[in-house]
Amino acid sequence: MDDHAASVWAVDALGALAHETRLAVFRALVKAGPQGMIAGAIADHCGVPPSTMSHHLASLERAGLVQSERESRLIHYRADYDGMRRLLTFLMQDCCGGAPEMCSDLMAGLTCEPLTRG
């Protein structure tokens, strides 16, 4: 992918995340891990009506940040970790003006706590 196409894609992905509900959905799916969540559980978790949630999930899916899979009558959603890596790589590419040690502790600030569903 050339620089222009990567920039266009990154703007779309960041635009999808630039909404409080979609950001909460994406973070919930990242926390849920590879097993993901069904659409109704995501709506309950975020306190959003299912009809509104489907719009947000579709926006995240179009941006390449979420994947869906139909399981009978349910739609199961997962964070698209490849899409997330692609966005983070785009944002961090050529980081730190040639001094990568400035970013070496970036991952140290992350914690992996399980999603509490309720």
In a domain, 96, yes or no: no
Two tokens, residue 111: 């914690």
Instruction: Categorize the per-residue pLDDT at 118 as very low, low, confident or very high, splitting at 50, 70 and 90.
Output: very low
Q: Which domain holds residue 9?
A: 3-90
Share of the chain above pLDDT 70, in %: 90
In a domain, 101, yes or no: no
Q: Are 78 and 39 in contact (CB under 8 A)?
A: no
Query: Could you tell me the pTM of the whole model?
Result: 0.83
pLDDT at 116: 59
In a domain, 30, yes or no: yes
What CATH number should be reported for the domain holding residue 74?
A: 1.10.10.10
Q: Nearest CA to 26 among 92, 88, 95?
A: 88
Q: Which has the higher per-residue pLDDT, 41 or 92?
A: 41
Q: Which has the higher per-residue pLDDT, 23 or 3?
A: 23
